[in-house]
């Protein structure tokens, strides 16, 4: 699997029970093939090691800084379809497909406004 990772420039990030695979390619068709191959390798490895994926929590996102919207492709693990998202929470950060801070700041503002009322009431 390491040779494949080096060939395709895959970055893996692990933290506790969260795993993030980052695959990059300029051509969306090649990227789709890469994703298909690698996620099925991960699924096979997990099956052989008696582990399981939570398919309902498994998502993918295409990061794109271009003005034009790239069409998401269909990704699946076995017969389980993986949902595409435009933003997701990873390690406490809300990331969006444009890699800007708007989503994270919006969520943070909402959370802080809830807490500010609580702090006001207990200020004494």
At 26-56, the pLDDT tens digits run 888 888 888 888 888 888 888 899 988 888 8
Where are the chain's structural domains? 1-85, 86-124
Per the listing, tokens 């996620």 go with 39
For each of the chain's 124 residues, which pLDDT tens digit applies? Answer: 434 444 556 788 888 878 888 888 888 888 888 888 888 888 888 889 998 888 888 888 888 766 665 667 788 888 888 888 888 888 888 888 888 888 888 888 888 888 888 888 887 7
CA distance 103 to 122: 29
What is the rounded distance in angstroms from the CA atom of residue 75 to the CA atom of residue 42?
14
Distance (Å) of CA 76 to CA 39, 45, 116, 121: 8, 16, 43, 49
Q: Do residues 9 and 23 make contact, with C-beta atoms less than 8 angstroms apart?
A: yes
């Amino acid at each position: 699997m390491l040779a494949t990772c080096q060939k395709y420039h895959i970055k893996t990030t692990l933290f506790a029970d969260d795993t993030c695979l980052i695959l990059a390619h300029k051509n969306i068709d090649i990227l789709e093939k890469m994703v298909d191959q690698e996620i099925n390798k991960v699924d096979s490895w997990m099956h052989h090691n008696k582990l399981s994926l939570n398919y309902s929590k498994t998502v993918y996102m295409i990061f794109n800084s271009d003005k034009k919207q790239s069409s998401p492709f269909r990704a699946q693990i076995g017969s389980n379809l993986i949902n595409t998202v435009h933003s997701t929470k990873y390690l406490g950060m809300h990331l969006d497909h444009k890699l800007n801070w708007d989503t994270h700041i919006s969520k943070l503002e909402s959370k802080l406004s809830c807490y500010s009322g609580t702090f006001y009431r207990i200020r004494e």
